[in-house]
Amino acid sequence: MNKYVRNGGLLTCILSGKIDTLNSSVLENEINENMKEGITSIVFDLQEVDYISSTFLRIVIKIVKAVGKENFAITNVQPSVLMVFKIANLTEIVTVGQ
Amino acid sequence: MENYIEGVMQDATMAAAEFSQFTQEQTDEIVKSVFEAAFNNRVMLAKMAHHETNMGIWEHKVLKNVIASQLVYEDIKNLKTVGIINEDVESGIVEIAQPMGPILAIIPVTNPTSTVVFKILISLKARNPIIICPSKKAINCCSETARICYEAALKAGAPEGCIQWLTSVTREQTQELMSHKSLSLILATGGSGLVKSAYSSGTPTIGVGAGNVPVFIEKSADIPFSVEQIFMSKTFDNGTICASEQAIVVEKEIAEKVVEEFIKRKAYFLNDKEIVLLNNIAIDTKTHLMNPEIVGRPAFEIAQKAGIKAPQDVTILIAPIKAVGNEYPLSSEVLAPILAFYIVDNFEKAMNMCIDLNYHGGIGHSASIFSNNDEKIKYFAIHMNAGRICVNTPSSQGAVGGMFNKLSPSLTLGCGTGGKNITTDNISAKHLINIQKISRRRPNERFVRFDAALYLDENLKANEINELYNKNF
C-alpha cells in the first residue's frame, strides 16, 4: 500500500511492492490526486519496492518534466532497482539516491 | 524528426530496463507466446511477403516462417539466458547471463517475415528489446509480423516497447538510430552497403557477408541423390537464400550422368549465345552485382526477360562456363534459379575451381560437397574459406540449419573475418547475451610458487625459465 506524506510544499510518496504496468497506472492516479495546490517538490521513497516497470519509468520522466530535476528525487532504492534506473539511463536526469 | 528516433530509443531503453528484472520462466513464457502467434500466422504472413516483394514462392515462404518460428523455438526454448547459466566448481568459474539492451534488426527483402520472427524470438529470449527496420520493399509484411509478435509478447507479460517497428525512416534517421548511444547491438542482415554502414556506426554489430556457394559433386557421390538435393535447394523460394548453390563443379568422369539428372528435373542447359543473353540481365557489368529485378523470380520468367527460348516448365537455368571472374558474370552470386556449371578433369582441378568460386565474392559464407569419401570431404572443407561446409545436404536448407543437420536454425549466418564478421556461427539467442564470469580464487600453483624475481634476469632464456617454472618438487 502506497503512502503519501505532505510536509509544506514537499510530497513524499512511500511506495511499496512490485510496481508493474497495472500498479503504475493506479500509482499515477494516486499521485495526481495528491498533487494539491502548493506542492512544489516530490520525493519517491522506494525502500519497499523490488520491481519497477517501464510504465513507472515513464511516470518518473513525466514528473521530472513537470516539476524539474531539482524538485524531484528518488530515495532509498534497493540495488536491483538502482540497476534498472541505470539501464534506463535515468540517473542522468533524475536524482536517485540510496 | 529527431524526436521520433529519440522516442523510439527511449521506449526501447525503458523496455530494456524492465526486461532486465524478468526471470527465466517469465522470459520463456513470452518467447513461447510469440512463437505460437508467429507460427499460427505463418501462411498469411508468407502470402503477404510474397505479394509485397514479388519475390520467391509463397509456399516456400511458409516453410521459411516455420523454420524461423518452430525450429528456432525448438532450438532455443531450453537455453538458459537469465541469471546463472553455468557453474563449474572445479575451475571456480560461474557464468551469469545479462541482457545486452536494445537491438536494431535490419531485415532483408529476400526473407522478410521469417527474419523478423527469427530476430524477435532470439532477442526476447535474451531479454533484449528489438527495433525492426525493414527493407523499404517489405515494410507492410514486416510491420504486420512485428505487430502480431508484439501483441503476443504483451499478452504474456512482456514490457511495453519491447518490440518496435519502423514504417518510414529516412537514410539519415537510420544512421541516427544506428549510432544512438542507447543502442546496444545491430543485427545487420542485408546487402554489403548496409552492413558496412552498420559497422561504421560505432555500435557493436553482428553482420553477414555475401555468399557465392560452390558445390562439388565428387565422383564417389550418389549422383541422382546429389542432383535432387541441389534441385530442391536451388529452387527453394526461387533461390533467395544467400546460402543457395551458385555453381556446380563436377569431374568429367561423372559429368554426363550429372547433366542427365539435371535435365530429368527440367533444368535447361544454356548454349554460349544464351549465356551471353543471360549475362546481360543477371549481372550489372559495372558493379558486378546481381540485378535486383531477377532476384527470386522463376526461371522461365528470367529466360523470357533475357530472350532465351526455354521451355515453360523450366526449373533452373544452367550455364556451362569455363572459368571464374568478372569476365564470366555468372560465376558471381545470383539469388535466382540460375547455376554456373563447370566440368573439370580431376579432383585437384575441381578443388581449385571451388576455391576460385569461394574467393569470388563468397569468402566466409558457405560451401557444399556431395561425396562418400570422408578424406576428400575433409580436404575440401579445409580448403574452403567458409563458415559452413554442407555435406550431402541441400545448401540453402543445410546452412540455415535445423532441418538436415544439427546447426542452429538461423536466418543470420556469420561469415567470419573473411566476410568481415566477428563469427562464423549461425547467429542465435546465445550471441545476444553478455556473459559475466565470477572467477573464484584457484591459484595457478606453478605461478604462485615461482620466484618472480627470476623474470628480471634478462640472461635467463625461455627454456631455462620454463624448466624452473615446471619443476616438480
In this complex, is the C-beta atom of B153 within 8 Å of any C-beta atom belonging to chain A? no
Instruction: Tell whether B410 is covered by a domain.
Output: no
Residues B57 and B191 in one domain: yes
- The pLDDT of residue A1 is 80
Question: Taking residues B405-415, what's their average pLDDT?
Answer: 96
Q: Looking at the DSSP assignment, which residues form a beta bridge with residue B390? A: B368
Is A53 close to B18, i.e. CB distance below 8 A? yes
pLDDT category, B190, cuts 50, 70, 90?
confident
Residue B2 has pLDDT above 70, yes or no: no
On whether both B129 and B149 belong to a single domain, the answer is: yes
Q: Is B129 on the interface with A (CB under 8 A)?
A: no
CA atoms within 13 A on the CB side of B367: 30
Query: Quick check: B15 contacting A, CB < 8 Å?
Result: yes
How many domains would you assign to chain B? 2
Task: Decide if B420 is inside a domain.
Answer: no
Q: Tell me the C-alpha distance between B308 and B102, whole Å.
A: 49
Of A51, A83, A88, the CB nearest to B14: A88
CB B94 within 8 A of CB B84: yes
Rg of chain A (C-alpha set):
12
Shared-domain flag, residues B389 and B327: yes
Band of pLDDT at residue A98, cut at 50, 70 and 90: low
Residue B119 has pLDDT above 60, yes or no: yes
Residue B472 pLDDT level (bands cut at 50, 70, 90): confident
Question: Do residue B233 and residue B186 come from a single domain?
Answer: no
For residues A60 and B106, what is the distance between their CA atoms, to the nearest angstrom?
A: 31
Answer whether residue B416 is part of any domain.
no
Mean pLDDT of A71-96: 94
One domain for residues B66 and B92: yes
Residues B218 and B278 in one domain: yes
Range of the domain at B272: 213-405
Average pLDDT over every residue of B338-367: 97
Digit-coded pLDDT (tens) for B128-156: 999 999 999 999 999 999 999 999 999 99
Is residue B97 within 8 Å of residue B82, measured between CB atoms? yes
Distance from CA of B35 to the nearest CA of A (A): 23
From the candidates B133, B141, B142, B242, give the one annotated as an active-site residue. Answer: B242
Q: State the DSSP H helix or E strand holding residue B100, giving kind and residue range, or none if neither.
A: none
Cell, residue A61: 520522466
Question: Does residue B14 belong to the interface with chain A, where contact is any CB pair within 8 Å?
Answer: yes
pLDDT at residue B1, as a whole number: 43
**The pLDDT of residue B345 is above 70:** yes
ipTM (interface predicted TM): 0.90
Burial class (CB in 10 A: 0-12, 13-18, 19+), B442: exposed
Identify which of A52, A54, A89 has the shortest CB distance to residue B160: A54
Q: Provide CB contacts within 8 A for B403, sequence distance 6+.
A: B67, B71, B397, B409
Chain B CB contacts of A53 under 8 Å are 18, 159-160
CATH of residue B355: 3.40.309.10
> How long a stretch of residues is chain B?
473
Cell 573439370 sits on residue = B344
Asked if residue B17 belongs to a domain, the reply is yes
Residue B351 CB coordination number (10 Å): 20
Residue of A nearest to B162 (CA): A54
Same domain, B100 and B224: no
B151 close to A (CB below 8 A)? no
Write down the mean pLDDT value for chain B: 96
Model pLDDT, residue B295: 95
Distance of CA B184 to the CA centre of its chain: 20
Q: Answer whether residue B82 is part of any domain.
A: yes
Sheet of B316-320, strands arranged across? B267-269, B316-320, B338-344, B245-251, B213-217, B364-370, B386-391
Which tens digit of pLDDT belongs to each residue from B29-40? Answer: 999 999 999 999
pLDDT of B351 > 70? The answer is yes
**Mean pLDDT value of segment B441-468:** 95
Burial of B102 (0-12, 13-18, 19+ CB in 10 A): buried
Domains of chain A and any CATH numbers: 3-96 (3.30.750.24)
CATH number of the domain to which B77 belongs: 3.40.605.10
Query: Does the residue B442 lie in any domain?
Result: no
Q: Are residues B182 and B257 located together in one domain of the fold?
A: no
Q: Are the beta carbons of B18 and A89 separated by less than 8 Å?
A: no
Q: Which of A23-32, B181-190, B374-383, B451-460 has the lowest mean pLDDT?
A: A23-32
Question: Residue A37: its pLDDT value, please?
Answer: 80
Whether B59 maps to a domain, the answer reads yes
Q: Assign B3 to helix, strand or coil.
A: helix
Q: Is A88–B16 a contact, with Cβ atoms under 8 angstroms apart?
A: yes
Mean pLDDT in chain A? Answer: 92
pTM: 0.94
| A89·B182 Cβ contact <8 A | yes
Over residues B167-194, mean pLDDT: 92
Contact assignment for B160 to A87 by CB distance below 8 Å: no
| Cross-chain CB nearest to A54 (options B101, B161, B182) | B161
Same structural domain for residues B81 and B147?
A: yes
Number of other residues whose CB lies within 10 A of the CB of residue B280: 14
| Domain contains B454 | no
Evaluate the CA torsion angle B358, B333, B365, B39 in order and state its sign: negative
pLDDT at residue B154 in the model: 97
| Cβ–Cβ pairs < 8 A, chains A and B | 41
Does residue B118 share a domain with residue B75? Answer: yes
Contact B140, B167 (CB under 8 A): no
Active site residue B242: yes
Domain identity same for B162 and B235: no
